């Protein structure tokens, strides 16, 4: 009896030991599996966080590079930009400094240095630097190469201006750099078209052609007329109007509907669609106004010597006249009415007289003498209804003419005045190189 009891107790003890061993092994196995799960989860979480940081840095660095391009473009359009000490080669836009070939791979040019937009809160970190130079083999030219590098979260004080560094800066976590380059042409010419309007123009029973005031024997010259408008009938060519050249309508417009071509009117060149709208800004001057300019009698013509003038308004009527001696620019903020004996431009060369309308008041030219000059009135209505002829070029909001218009090819060489922003023609854009850190 006692022996059976002892055997039973021994068996129970063995079962308890085996049970404890199983629990221990199970617990250890659970802890191992749980540890693997925790490590895997941490690794996954860490990788996800790193990927999110890297992705954010990619976005920030690319947008920073684009911001750098935008800054350079805005500054290149600033007419009163500060200049470098090497003016003949690389005029530097405001906000940049001139540098010689200090940056590898760059010619001499203008650089912003590193510009940070770190908010100080840690939520947005990064910055950019920009390099602008003239890529032509024989500078100065109208072309500019803009290189911008965007950095996130910082540049680590180790960059090649306008380009990404060869490797990630030391100590900068999740570093990303994106570099972009744009090639542009700076168009500082003013009158590339015989007639340019923002809205509509109407020409009645007239000839519109081109000539060269400096070379009367030049042949085969053509004009270009252009509007930004796409509205039906924005261009009216009535009667026996003949345009020796091209007529372009606004982007997306249909020349067949925008151009209202009378049955006896004709266009010898292309009826096309402009690639982009042209926006001419208002002219401005800081010179003090001389008040109104008036002339209505042959005994008191207004005579101006070469220079720049500012008047509140212009009114020439009766037998009055405006006589210009040399190249003259006139800024007017109010109405312009030129009649009577009109304007006697020096040498009858249109490029010797440029009239800038700084506001929105009308410009009207009539009378019985030919007009030689350029009219810049992008926000005004310009009307030419004289019995004589118009020689030069016009930029207006709207233009109406009942007299012949002759475009002088030399007007293409008239450069911007009156603090007018230049036009920028974008030739190409691309992302050039990247740098990624850990």
Whether residue 273 contacts residue 265, with contact meaning beta carbons closer than 8 Å, is answered with no
Q: Going along 361-401, which residue ranges are E strands?
A: 363-365, 371-384, 390-401
Whole-angstrom CA distances from 195 to 165, 198, 284, 337, 428 are 49, 10, 21, 19, 28
What's the pLDDT tens digit per position in 111-139? Answer: 767 777 765 655 667 888 887 777 777 76
Residue of 131, 179, 124 whose CA lies nearest to 152: 124
In this prediction, residues 285-295 reach a mean pLDDT of 93
Residue of 190, 179, 70, 186 whose CA lies nearest to 133: 186
The confidence score (pLDDT) of residue 232 equals: 97
Q: Is the pLDDT of residue 190 over 70?
A: yes
pTM, whole model, 2 decimals? Answer: 0.71
Whether residue 315 contacts residue 297, with contact meaning beta carbons closer than 8 Å, is answered with no
Pairing of strands 266-267, 313-316: unpaired
Query: What number of CA atoms fall less than 13 Å from residue 113's CA on the CB side?
Result: 6
What's the pLDDT tens digit per position in 264-285? Answer: 999 999 999 998 888 888 888 8
The confidence score (pLDDT) of residue 37 equals: 78
Question: And the tokens for 239?
Answer: 């009667």
The H-assigned helical ranges of 140-273 are: 255-258
> What is the residue whose two structure tokens read 């992008």?
378
Residue of 402, 400, 405, 406 whose CA lies nearest to 239: 402
What's the pLDDT tens digit per position in 41-89? Answer: 777 766 676 666 777 778 888 888 888 888 777 777 665 444 433 322 3
The confidence score (pLDDT) of residue 95 equals: 58
In the structure, what pLDDT confidence band is assigned to residue 94 with cuts at 50, 70 and 90? low
From CA 374, how far away is CA 391, in angstroms rounded? 8
């Amino acid at each position: 009896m006692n022996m059976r009891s002892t055997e039973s107790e021994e068996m129970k003890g063995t079962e308890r030991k085996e049970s404890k061993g199983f629990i221990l092994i199970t617990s250890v196995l659970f802890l191992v599996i749980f540890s693997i799960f925790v490590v895997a989860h941490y690794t996954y979480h860490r990788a996800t966080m790193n990927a999110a940081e890297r992705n954010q840095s990619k976005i920030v660095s690319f947008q920073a590079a684009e911001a750098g391009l935008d800054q350079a473009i805005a500054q290149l359009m600033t007419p009163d930009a500060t200049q470098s000490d090497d003016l003949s080669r690389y005029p530097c836009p405001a906000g940049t400094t001139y540098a010689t070939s200090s940056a590898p791979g760059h010619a001499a040019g203008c650089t912003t240095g590193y510009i940070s937009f770190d908010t100080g809160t840690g939520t947005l970190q990064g910055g950019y630097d920009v390099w602008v130079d003239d890529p032509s083999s024989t500078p100065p030219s109208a072309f500019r190469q803009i290189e911008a590098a965007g950095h996130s979260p910082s540049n680590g004080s180790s960059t090649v201006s306008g380009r990404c560094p060869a490797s990630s800066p030391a100590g900068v976590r999740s570093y990303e750099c994106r570099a972009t380059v744009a090639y542009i042409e700076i168009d500082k010419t003013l009158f590339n078209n015989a007639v340019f309007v923002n809205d509509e123009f109407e020409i009645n029973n007239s000839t519109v052609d081109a000539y060269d005031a400096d070379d009367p024997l030049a042949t085969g010259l053509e004009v270009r007329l252009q509007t930004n408008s796409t509205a039906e009938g924005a261009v009216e060519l009535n009667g026996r109007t003949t345009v020796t050249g091209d007529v372009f309508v606004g982007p997306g417009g249909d020349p067949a509907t925008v151009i209202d071509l009378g049955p006896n009117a004709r266009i010898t060149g292309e009826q096309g669609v402009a690639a982009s709208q042209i926006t001419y800004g208002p002219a401005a001057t800081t010179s003090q106004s001389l008040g109104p300019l008036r002339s209505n009698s042959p005994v008191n013509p207004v005579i101006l010597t070469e220079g720049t003038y500012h008047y509140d308004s212009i009114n020439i009527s009766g037998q009055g006249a405006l006589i210009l001696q040399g190249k003259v620019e006139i800024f007017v903020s109010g109405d312009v009415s030129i009649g009577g004996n009109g304007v006697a431009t020096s040498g009858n060369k249109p490029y010797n007289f440029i009239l800038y309308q700084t506001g929105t008041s009308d410009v009207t030219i009539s009378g019985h003498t030919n007009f030689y000059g350029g009219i810049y009135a992008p926000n005004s209505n310009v009307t030419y209804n004289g019995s004589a002829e118009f020689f030069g070029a016009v930029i207006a909001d709207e233009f109406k003419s009942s007299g012949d218009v002759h475009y002088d090819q030399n007007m293409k060489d008239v450069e911007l005045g009156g603090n007018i922003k230049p036009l920028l023609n974008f030739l190409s854009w691309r992302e050039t190189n990247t740098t990624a850190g850990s």
